[in-house]
Amino acid sequence: MRHAWQTHTPFGGHRFLDFVNTVDDERKTRARNGLPDWPTVLAWCRRAGVIDDEEGAALVATPPAEGAAAWDALIGFREAAYALLSAVAGGLPPPEPARSAVEAAAATGLARATLAPTSDGLGWTAPAGALGAEVVRVRLALAFLDLVGCRDLARLRECGRCTGLYLDHGRGAGRRWCRMSTCGNRAKVERHRRQR
């Protein structure tokens, strides 16, 4: 069963992790895709700042076959990235098919991007005009490269209840749940029921 992406507050600590977390699941299933179609992808991208309103309005007119192909490639990228990052969070070797798929997406992203001045010096950008529907995957591939290039990746964790990935900036034992308001509270309720 498919559900539109829930409007919960992003919790990953990085735009790319928020993209990987666009599922609503429990028990590590990733069974409920929060981005079930191209229009929902565009709406999420606008909210997340991947595309602006003008780009979103232009991309809404994407021909259905092109939008479906862009959606399919994007979801494949998301799931490969989840498999790769979940392994990293768990201290396991990255699965080869996922590593290869993410590496290919990142290489394609860099091949389509250009270096441009930013407020911090230089950065990779992907102008929407020439890329069409591919701009979403290219920009998210660049966000992946930003994530793996940051020092915070050592803080990558996976929720103990769902597949949510996040950067844990807590002190001490750190976070166990993606959000206390969902998985944390559910885990407390389950523990209370078991004790009774």
Residue with tokens 């290919």: 104
pLDDT in tens, 47-63: 999 999 999 999 999 99
Question: What is the pLDDT of the chain when averaged over all its residues?
Answer: 88
Q: Say if residue 186's pLDDT is above 70.
A: no
With cut-offs at 50, 70 and 90, classify the pLDDT of residue 158.
very high
Closest by Cα among 12, 19, 14 to 150: 14
Q: Say if residue 8's pLDDT is above 70.
A: no
Domains of the chain: 15-195 (1.10.3300.10)
In 10 A of CB 42, how many CB atoms? Answer: 25
Predicted local distance difference test score (pLDDT) of residue 45? 97
d(CA 157, CA 87): 10
pLDDT in tens, 120-130: 888 898 988 88
pTM exceeding 0.75:
yes
Coil, strand or helix at 123? strand
CB-count burial class (<10 Å; 0-12, 13-18, 19+) for 10: middle
Q: Say if residue 39's pLDDT is above 50.
A: yes
Please state the rounded mean pLDDT for residues 90-103.
97
Which pairing describes strands 165-167 and 114-118: parallel, antiparallel, or unpaired?
unpaired
